[in-house]
Amino acid sequence: MQVKVNGEAVELPNGATIAALIEQLALAGKRVAVEVNEDIVPRSQHPDFSLSEGDRVEVVHAIGGG
């Protein structure tokens, strides 16, 4: 299946979880926050939250700003 991650198309196995996506992005263990279709998915739910075809996922972190 295909999902949009930070605006880019990403291929994932059907039913892949957010935790699996984060692993695939080499972001495991990093401080990130995840939104699916504009709703926050708390970190505690990442291992159980299955993504669906066409989901819009945002993975964000803190960067320098004023």
Partner 1 sequence: MTDTPEIQLPEDKPLEIAGKVYQSRLLVGTGKYHDLMETGHAIEASGAEIVTVAVRRTNIGQSPDEPNLLDVVSPDAYTILPNTAGCYTAKDAVRTCKLARELLDGHDLVKLEVLGEHKTLYPNMPETLAAAEELIKDGFKVMVYCSDDPLLAMRLEEMGCVAIMPLGAPIGSGLGIQNRYNIRLIVENAKVPVLVDAGVGTASDATIAMELGCDGVLMNTAIAQAKDPIKMANAMRLAIEAGREAYLAGRMPKKLYASASSPIDGTFF
Q: CA angle, corner 27, sides to 29 and 61, nearest 5?
A: 90
Q: How far is the CB of 50 from partner 1 (least distance, A)?
A: 19
Q: How far is the CB of 25 from partner 1 (least distance, A)?
A: 6
Which two three-digit tokens encode residue 22?
Answer: 């984060």
Q: How far is the CB of 48 from partner 1 (least distance, A)?
A: 16
Name which of 19 and 25 has its Cβ closer to partner 1.
25
CA–CA separation, 66 vs 52, rounded Å? 36
CA–CA separation, 55 vs 58, rounded Å? 10
- Which residues of this chain interact with partner 1, rule CB under 8 A? 5-8, 10, 25-27, 30-35, 38, 40, 42-43, 58-66
- Would you tell me how many other CB atoms lie within 10 Å of the CB of residue 49? 17
Name which of 8 and 14 has its Cβ closer to partner 1.
8
